[in-house]
Structure formats: C-alpha cells, structure tokens
Amino acid sequence: MIRPEANFRNSDNPILHHFGTPIGAKPQSSDRQRFAVVIPVYNQEQSVADVILETLKLDMPVFVVDDGSTDSTSAIIKDIRGVHVLRHHVNRGKGAAIMTGLAAVANTADWAVTLDADGQHYPEDAISLIQAIPKNQRPIIVGTRKGMTEANAPWTSRFGRGFSNFWVWVSGGPRMTDSQSGFRIYPVPESLNLNVKAKRFQYEVEVLVKAKWSEIPIIEAPVRVKYEQGPMKISHFHPFFDFLRNFGTFSRLIIQRLFDPKPTGGSF
C-alpha cells in the first residue's frame, strides 16, 4: 500500500523547463517538457535531509518514496516542507520505489529525474543531464559517475559496474559505461510501459535492456560523485543475495531474447 504523507507545491509554483521554455515559467497544458524528481530512500537517516534540501534548489517538484524505512528516515522527511512523500509500509526494493515515483509524477511531469538518497550525487548535476536530452527525442539519460576511484568508491561498486555493463550488453541492451548509476532521467510514460519485472536494484539494469529492445535511446552524460567514509556510509548491497538476483534477472532476459529474436519491453 502506498500512502501520501504530505502535499508538495501546487501547480502554480514554478517548474523547471527545457528546450526553449524559460526556467521559472508557469507550465502550460501544451508543454510536454515538464520535469519532476523522484528520490527512492531506504534507511538513509544520516544523508536524506541534505539530499532533499539540495534537490529542492532545482525548483522542480520533488517526490520522495520511503521504501519501508525502519530507522528515523520517515520522521525526518515528513518534516521537510515542499516535498511530496510516498511510503511503502514494507521494504519492496529500489525498483519498486522508482516505479511508485514514476506513477506518482505521471500526471504532472513528462520526465522524472531519479537520484539516490545516500549523498553520492550532486543534485545540481541534474541540469547537465537535462541539457543532454536531444531536441525532439525521448531517451533515457544515465549519469555516468566520473572519478569513482578518487571519490573512494567501494570496490563492490567499481566491480559491480563492470560486471553489470557486460551482462546488460549480452542481454541485448546498450553498451554502457555505468549501467548501475541511479542518477538518471526517465521519459515517464515510456518507462512505465516497459514491463520491467525486477523490483530491487536489478530494475536499473533491466530497464536499460527493455528500453533498447523497444528502441528507446539511452544516452550517457557525466556526473560527479562522492562517497562518505566510515559510519556515514550506509550500503544496502548484499553480495550473495544480489548476485543471485542479478543472475536471475540476466538469465531471464537472455532466455527471452533467445526465444524471441525481436523482443520488446512493452506496449505503448
């Protein structure tokens, strides 16, 4: 069950626009370039407030999806003004949280910017991702994390990125530099219709494969990254279980591709 916790800014407040529409202009009903931000969060009490406050500076509607947090995350985010909070009563996974967010913004935005709540991203880099959208195209934009070694990224992130890139390609997806980056822009209606089955971290790789099958362009653009050291850094990566989930997801995609020479992600 999904429960709205607070109302966000009303339709009269400014929303970021692109492609010739001035930033701060009131959106018109005919405008098909509206943006909103979706932040999936699970037990990130130490970083979530800073991430949300920095994201609000973008002057876009911000939707925070609390995926059944059991620490003080829920209490923290409900007291931040200017956000729309959705909550899963139990942990359902990052992919499920992203899909909840996409469904929530579907009536008010054409594009959803997603970023992680752990503080690794610079929310202002969303502007660079928006600028990477070609005119008259509806791609998925993936923020390629630059300088992960210098940013003290854990070895699991660096290894997992290479592993994921290879299997995304084998599954019939695009050749990627950073298929695991959570900093992205999704075209909302197209992404909701890709019939992605994975509900946890694997959503972010399956959606790329299904997008390629459906001939949705995938474009990478560089973003900065930072990683906290010590107790501030909270990871929900579980090597054994996530390896099994990855194996299951890629096996399913490869089998589907083998038995259907021209698979599609969904219908539009």
Domain ranges of the chain: 2-259
Region 2-259: CATH code: 3.90.550.10
pTM of the model: 0.81
Q: For residues 140 and 111, give the distance between their C-alpha atoms in angstroms, rounded to a whole number.
A: 9
CB 174 within 8 A of CB 208: yes
> Element (H or E) spanning 225, and its range?
none
Q: Helix or strand or coil: residue 197?
A: coil
Residue 239: exposure state from Cβ atoms within 10 A (0-12, 13-18, ≥19): exposed
Q: Specify the pLDDT at position 101.
A: 98
Q: Specify the pLDDT at position 14.
A: 33
Q: Specify the pLDDT at position 249.
A: 86
Phi/psi for 145 (5° steps) reads: -75, 120
Q: Strands 218-223 and 140-145, how do they pair?
A: parallel
CB 110 within 8 A of CB 18: no
CB 196 within 8 A of CB 265: yes
Q: pLDDT averaged over consecutive 10-residue blocks of the chain (268 residues)?
A: 39 36 37 85 97 98 98 96 97 97 96 97 97 96 84 57 89 95 97 95 95 97 84 50 72 87 62
CB 25 within 8 A of CB 97: no
Q: Specify the pLDDT at position 21.
A: 35
The strand pairing partners of 62, in sequence order, are 37, 83
